Structure 1
Amino acid sequence: MNKVRIGIVGIGNMGKGHLNYLSKDEVKGGELTAIVDIDPARLDWVREHHGDRYVLFDNLNDFFASKAFDAVLICTPHYDHPTVAIQAFEHGYHVLVEKPAGVYTKQVREMNEAAARSGKAFGIMYNQRTNPLYQKLRDLITSGELGQVRRTNWIITNWYRSQSYYDSGGWRATWAGEGGGVLLNQDPHQLDLWQWTIDMMPQRVRAFCHFGKYRNIEVEDDVTAYVEYANGATGLFVTTTGEAPGTNRYEVTGDNGKIVVEDGKLTFWRLRTPEPEFNATWKGGFGSPEVWKCEIPVAKSEGAQHKGITQNFVDYVLKGTPLLAPGEEGIKGLTLSNAMHLSAWTDNWVDLPINEDLYYEKLQERIKNSTHKKEMQELKHMDVSGTH
């Protein structure tokens, strides 16, 4: 194989984004050959802008049966990510899935198992892993430069969304349509980076989620979560879509100082003497270790982003290049958001791994009363009866 033929599933906003760079042949060794979408208008848009360059399908059965591609890039609504991925694996295709991996870990675990059975390539569109800022942060931590991690603290409140944004689609910010709010729509990248940069998942979570605090929505739009790690470290994650101006500041403290990521810069407040050593030897009463403010050089770019993940995925299939974002790791960030929801719903601590059956049960209760589900039921009733 000297190239990977790619089929896109879903040609909404994200699908069009991937179509844009693939149509320009900007992924070496990758070739877009097919697209599927159940919305005729979207397929018409492809024809209008790209002619007959791609094979188009209006249903998944014909799409998967066609063998017109080697790998699929899944850009469907959240709930469908695992379902479509499992179908693709069962038909013998490689899979690259958009974030989040899914809505609940029980379903995502089934997707991971299907990937393992298939032996096919599996990646997830965690494009922020290409960002030099977070790559350098991970390097400083995993190499031991920071010493043992003691505390993580991420304030990510610059996700401002107005009511008109939520009103733009009946599926937005509903349990039935999206399966969550700021944690599942805006924060999947940060939740992934939170665990990826320190190479460590927490042991337990206590979260406080406010549902429809700032907007007329049914899902969470304000979250404060506290976590504890096996090594004794603690962490804090604060996020919202209802504040302006917002903040994006990520701090990681270790035995050798503190690293801060903010405003596109990475600053290492480096202790000349590691804190444990200073504490064991200092006899002067008041005092603290000498600290150096080090501006860590980082490439002035946001990395290759979506195109970079797709290129890495293609390189993995063709050359065996290690995956930057293995699909199996999508469950990690989702576990964090599921744990935060479950902690808020039960008003209690949640141990990791979470009780997946309990989470699913609680989620179904919310889906049952979701405004989006009721709207879909009404539309279905109108289509069938023809009386409205």
Structure 2
Amino acid sequence: MEKVRFGIIGVGNMGRAHAHSLLNDIKGAELAAVCDSSPERLDWAEEHLPDNVQRFLSPEELFKSGTIDAVLIATPHYDHPPLAIEALGYGLHVLIEKPAGVYTKAVQEMNDAAAKSDRKFGIMYNQRTNPLYQKLRELIKSGELGEIRRTNWIITNWYRSQSYYDSGGWRATWGGEGGGVLLNQDPHQLDLWQWTTGMMPKRVRAFCHFGKYRNIEVEDDVTAYVEYENGATGLFITTTGEAPGTNRFEITGDNGKIVIEDGKLTFFRLRTPEPQFNAEYTGGFGSPECWKCEIPVAPGDGDQHKGIMRNFTNAILHDEPLLAPGEEGIHGLTLSNAMYLSAWTDNWVDLPIDSELFHEKLMVQVQNSTFQKTPVSQKALDVSGTH
């Protein structure tokens, strides 16, 4: 294979951006087809994409066409797992937009299907290309920070106005999106939280406020406390209703703390690890000597979406390791599912979560939602908007 022929399902804002990237920026990739059950979206494709890019009204037609080797799924959240499973069944490589899905039960089924396949399976976790988070992961994995004691992420710069939510009846509904700030805006942070540290919590206690700042069904303000197996603790705070917002990720370990904020990575490094200092120091008041180190990081925010598509293409053509394997999408989703379940049950939630109980609780919300979803085979695959 000299080139990977891609098809895109869902020609909304993200789908269109991916189409242009595949046409112009990804070596070894070719945009061969697009699929959308909305005639208006296909009219856009006819007008703006080359004539040799075929257009399909249904995923099944696309999968059976023989025109593609890989599919990029940029549809509503609920449809990611069933479409991925179907595509894998047709022997296609699959790259899904984030999040992996809405509930872990469906995502686990998708992962199981991928495990039985010899096809490449990836997820659009484009923040993994960001040099800041790559450097943080490298420092933690190397042992520079020592054993982690605490993680804190304040991510409140996802401001969204009421007019944003009013722009589509599916937005911020349990039936349409399956969640709010945790599922729409925060999947990247929830992924990076565990990807950079290499740690998943053992239990979660979360407080979710639904429609606190906006007239919406889903959560727009969350504070979650987590505990890890090694005794470390963590805090995750997020909202779409505050301005100005903050994006500060702080990780404390035996050897100091690392802070990512305002595009900078700062390592407050202890000259003597805290456990050693505590064991040896006899002076009463006092603390370890601390060096403030500005860690050099490559400029820019990485290749983002193009970087993931380039890596995915190279994985197919040259067996390059995937930066964001699709199977890892379940980790961040587990965190958001656990936060919802904790709020709904007003209790601690142990990980791994009870996926059946979560699905049961979610379906209650969906049944009462103002947006009633129809099956993927019948619905328009065009509500995938920008985050």
Q: Which of the five TM-score ranges fits, normalised by the shorter chain?
A: over 0.9
Letter in 2 for 1:104: Y
Distance in 1 of aligned mates of 2:172 and 2:12? 17
Q: Map residues 192-207 of structure 1 onto 2, 5 A cutoff.
A: 192-207=191-206
Q: Map residues 270-309 of structure 1 onto 2, 5 A cutoff.
A: 270-309=269-308
Residue by residue, what CA displacement relative to the aligned partner does 1:298-318 show, whole Å, maximum 9, x if unpaired? 111000000000110111111
Question: Are residue 264 (structure 1) and residue 259 (structure 2) matched?
Answer: no
- Residue aligning to 2:13: 13
Question: Are residue 76 (structure 1) and residue 86 (structure 2) matched?
Answer: no
Distance in 2 of aligned mates of 1:360 and 1:288? 49
Distance in 2 of aligned mates of 1:200 and 1:318? 32
TM-score (norm 1): 0.96
Report the alpha carbon displacement of residue 208 of structure 1 after superposing the two structures with TM.
0.2
Distance in 1 of aligned mates of 2:112 and 2:356? 17
Q: Counterpart of 1:287 in 2: which secondary structure?
A: coil
Letter in 2 for 1:326: P
**Any stretches of 5+ residues in structure 2 without a counterpart?**
379-387
Letter in 1 for 2:183: L
Report the alpha carbon displacement of residue 28 of structure 1 after superposing the two structures with TM.
1.2
- Residue aligning to 1:38: 37
Q: Map residues 331-346 of structure 1 onto 2, 5 A cutoff.
A: 331-346=330-345
Distance in 2 of aligned mates of 1:50 and 1:246? 38
- Residue aligning to 1:237: 236
Distance in 2 of aligned mates of 1:199 and 1:69? 35
Report the count of equivalent residues.
376
- Residue aligning to 2:381: none
Residue by residue, what CA displacement relative to the aligned partner does 1:125-180 show, whole Å, maximum 9, x if unpaired? 00000000000000000110000000000000001100000000000000000000
**Any stretches of 5+ residues in structure 1 without a counterpart?**
381-388
Distance in 1 of aligned mates of 2:50 and 2:291? 59
Q: Map residues 1-388 of structure 1 onto 2, 5 A cutoff.
A: 1-24=1-24, 26-373=25-372
Q: Counterpart of 1:28 in 2: which secondary structure?
A: coil
Q: Counterpart of 1:308 in 2: which secondary structure?
A: helix
Report the alpha carbon displacement of residue 68 of structure 1 after superposing the two structures with TM.
0.4
Distance in 2 of aligned mates of 1:302 and 1:204? 32
Letter in 2 for 1:80: D
Residue by residue, what CA displacement relative to the aligned partner does 1:187-220 show, whole Å, maximum 9, x if unpaired? 0000000000001100000000000000000100
Distance in 2 of aligned mates of 1:282 and 1:50? 69
- Residue aligning to 1:384: none
Report the alpha carbon displacement of residue 53 of structure 1 after superposing the two structures with TM.
2.5
Report the alpha carbon displacement of residue 51 of structure 1 after superposing the two structures with TM.
4.0
TM-score (norm 2): 0.96
Regions of 4+ moved over 4 Å: none
Q: Counterpart of 2:234 in 1: which secondary structure?
A: strand
Residue by residue, what CA displacement relative to the aligned partner does 1:229-266 show, whole Å, maximum 9, x if unpaired? 01110000000000000000000000000000000000
Report the alpha carbon displacement of residue 20 of structure 1 after superposing the two structures with TM.
1.4
Letter in 2 for 1:12: G
The sequence identity of aligned pairs, in percent, is 73
Report the alpha carbon displacement of residue 3 of structure 1 after superposing the two structures with TM.
1.5
Residue by residue, what CA displacement relative to the aligned partner does 1:343-362 show, whole Å, maximum 9, x if unpaired? 00000000000000000000
Residue by residue, what CA displacement relative to the aligned partner does 1:272-295 show, whole Å, maximum 9, x if unpaired? 000000000000000000000000
Letter in 2 for 1:261: I
Q: Counterpart of 1:322 in 2: which secondary structure?
A: coil
Report the alpha carbon displacement of residue 124 of structure 1 after superposing the two structures with TM.
0.2
